[in-house]
Structure 1
């Protein structure tokens, strides 16, 4: 029997194998051939093997500005953005298959054809799947806050993340973040302020709310319980 191989670093998610609904199963079967990027795996089910970068012009059939959303959930944000901006290309990165199925279903209903999905661990997508400097905007909206002290090491936004984000973004590209957990917002800002590859693109304590971010049920829930929504925006500096 083969010995199981595990990642040597914690990831920002716990991937549970929940059942999909019949509609989600149908959406996966019907739409994944078009929307889902084939990913060569490394050590784990959601890993990306080094040296297997895609060619965006080949994937989307054109050359256009590329926006990547990390942790796209059920796809409400990325589908709305792709529908509103047919001149841009979009990539949704998510590890939960039910959310990806819902994203495909909604994208097909909206006639969205400039969107693709990757079922993979986001840092590995930025480091291995996407060519260096290929991304114009990178979005990280409401990542899991891992609010217990013993779990904060799982948070996505950490110094290692800035390295792979800088690799994927073109010089002048934009990194947009949002969270409704104040201590995570503080951590995000500290990490990005200390990253040599990024400059602040806002004045004052926090960035203005990104106009392109739709008000999702997740954000409404945070507002209902009295949490402040914190936005941050950074620019990739030239090497």
Structure 2
């Protein structure tokens, strides 16, 4: 909101207009910033040609996963898949599961569609929208077997911590979308964010840590990314958290 001088009005005008103005300028704190680069020809072509079969357009209606995939296989939801390489690898390695990926950046969605098309993946669908809104308005209760969040923006500056996607409200909303016994799998290479994630999950109701210690070893189903491999060579740590919904 800009610092503009407010015209003087009488008290009745203020009473009638102030709530409307507050609503007009209210902005939701988001966990991401769109730095949308230009899509390559390949990414744009994939978006244009494959969206009808692999894309799910945002709407305020619950997704019927059985209708979307044509089966009742367990559904894995990943938030923030980047360029989609690890998500595609997981989908290829687990044809008995259905995978849904959410990503706000168009070029990443286009790259994922292009690679998935080349690989012949059929058990993957993608959304290009804010994950918080998708989770709230499109994912039915007890419809997910697994929720995945890998290397989200840690918003490491203290004044930006409020933008972290992992918070009490998000986790509670996500819990209702999981089946009983459903899995939450999160990973980060930023230790303070790992501590934050662990605190939020430990404080959340009806979740149990599956690890013998606070953090779990990387499970086989989470592929190593080039970024992670590079970090390991440089001695950087990665922290995985695995929790299940108990009730």
TM over 0.5: yes
- Check 1:191–1:213 CA distance in 2 against 1; reply closer, same or farther (3 A cut): same
User: Which of these residues, 150, 154, 165, is aligned with residue 145 of structure 1?
Assistant: 154
Please name the residue that 1:17 is paired with.
36
- Distance in 1 (CA, whole Å) between partners of 2:64 and 2:26 is 26
Deviation at 1:221, TM superposition (A): 3.5
Please name the residue that 2:123 is paired with.
114
- Check 1:150–1:168 CA distance in 2 against 1; reply closer, same or farther (3 A cut): same
Please name the residue that 1:182 is paired with.
191
- Distance in 2 (CA, whole Å) between partners of 1:157 and 1:82 is 24
Please name the residue that 1:124 is paired with.
133
Give unpaired runs (5+ residues) of structure 2.
1-20
8 Å Cα contact 1:126-1:167 kept in structure 2:
no
Please name the residue that 2:113 is paired with.
104
1:210-225 aligned within 5 A:
210-225=219-234
Structure 1 residue runs of 4+, over 2 Å off?
3-9, 220-226
Structure 2 counterpart SS, 1:106: helix
Please name the residue that 2:173 is paired with.
164
8 Å Cα contact 1:140-1:176 kept in structure 2:
yes
Larger Rg: 2
- Check 1:231–1:34 CA distance in 2 against 1; reply closer, same or farther (3 A cut): same
- Distance in 2 (CA, whole Å) between partners of 1:109 and 1:176 is 28
Give unpaired runs (5+ residues) of structure 1.
41-48
The total of aligned residue pairs comes to 226
Q: Which has the higher helix share?
A: 2
- Distance in 1 (CA, whole Å) between partners of 2:137 and 2:231 is 33
